[in-house]
Amino acid sequence: MRSRNVPWLVCLLMAGMLVGCGGGGAGLPSASVPSSTFDSGPETTRTLPLGRGINLGNMLEAPMEGAWGFSVQQAFFPIIKGKGFDTVRIPANFAAHAASSEPYTVDPIFMSRVATVLDWAFQQNLNVMLDFHGYQELCDAPLAQEARFLALWAQIADRFKDAPDRLYLELLNEPNGNLNSELWNRILAKAVGVVRAVDARHTLVIGGTNWNSAYALKDLQLPPGESKVIATFHFYSPFTFTHQGAEWVTPILPTGISWPGPNVQGACKAITDELEVALAWSRANGNIPLFMGEFGAYSKGDLQSRANWTAYVRKQAEQRGCSWAYWEFCAGFGAYDTGTGYWNQALAGALGVP
């Protein structure tokens, strides 16, 4: 998420979705509404198979680990497990550590580093989602990069084929740009075949285009006969709220946007409407399990609004049977402060892991 360069047009479209779904009368300003208001409804049983998760973002998906300020530490995993999370999603940019010409060999040092990180998570009995993150070259030039993408997955699948069943393989984070649904479906089918040639055991995690939008699931074609699959989508609506002040968005969105704002009913309905899109797709496709692989609000927003939004999105996703992973652990969206060694209690409470 950190390195995404989202054009202003996308911001306008996402803001338009919020306005279009709005309705209802005025409500209290978000600053005067406790986040518990947005965590209402019956408690749900931990959603299987992934439950409640968190992303280790801005680490292994950076061009070089540490370049964005954070490196994975073994101590993170008992902290995450001790807080009550079930899953860690580990974004890793294999493309940044592989040769650009055939046979597209992944740097063995990077591959070993990823294996070490996975082992640290397995030692804490956490589910682990290994997410191929940051391959923008594939999204920009799908046909030119297709062979490399498939070769990288052949190596990844072979390296981790004997990992515990708690490993889940996410084939590509946020397909976008020139990697439209038609091309993604075709490349996806080949990638699944490459993985399954060496690994028939681990569950695959697959999302649609347009940055893993819930609205793009309708165009996603899962390979026929593939039963070990979870569908993923990401949730950052309204984008003007969740990404206010984010330095990687062009132009930078203005700060000072609260949630839910004066129209509580409309703000909540916009969120449930989008989640219902994902749920309807799941039901229409044999109740494929859903995983909300990323959701979060950037730290430039006020903390109360961030907690309000996080609590509401999390609870509404759970009530629709979605596992989830918050974006992210300790960077710009982070729920944990590595400097103080303490969780942000407002966000932890909103995530149901106080």
| Contact indicator for 301, 241 with CB cutoff of 8 Å | yes
Domain ranges of the chain: 8-24+47-349
Question: pLDDT tens, 33-64?
Answer: 455 668 766 555 455 679 999 999 999 999 99
Per-residue pLDDT in tens (0 to 9) along the chain, 354 residues: 544 433 333 333 333 333 333 322 223 333 344 556 687 665 554 556 799 999 999 999 999 999 999 999 999 999 999 999 999 999 999 999 999 999 999 999 999 999 999 999 999 999 999 999 999 999 999 999 999 999 999 999 999 999 999 999 999 999 999 999 999 999 999 999 999 999 999 999 999 999 999 999 999 999 888 989 999 999 999 999 999 999 999 999 999 999 999 999 999 999 999 999 999 999 999 999 999 999 999 999 999 999 999 999 999 999 999 999 999 999 999 999 999 999 999 999 999 997
Closest by CA to 292, choosing from 307, 271, 269, 270, is: 271
Distance CA 349, CA 352 (A): 5
Residue 246 token pair: 């984010």
The beta-strand segments (E) located in the chain are 52-55, 87-92, 127-132, 167-170, 203-207, 229-235, 290-295, 323-326, 336-337, 342-343
DSSP state of 59: S
pLDDT confidence of residue 2: 47
pTM of the model: 0.90
DSSP state of 17: H
Question: pLDDT tens, 67-126?
Answer: 999 999 999 999 999 999 999 999 999 999 999 999 999 999 999 999 999 999 999 999
Fold (CATH) for 8-24+47-349: TIM Barrel (3.20.20)
pLDDT confidence of residue 46: 53
| Contact indicator for 324, 53 with CB cutoff of 8 Å | yes
Closest by CA to 23, choosing from 274, 317, 310, 270, is: 270
Closest by CA to 55, choosing from 293, 277, 262, is: 293
For residue 348, what are the CA distances in angstroms to 84, 90, 241, 263, 354? 10, 19, 19, 25, 5
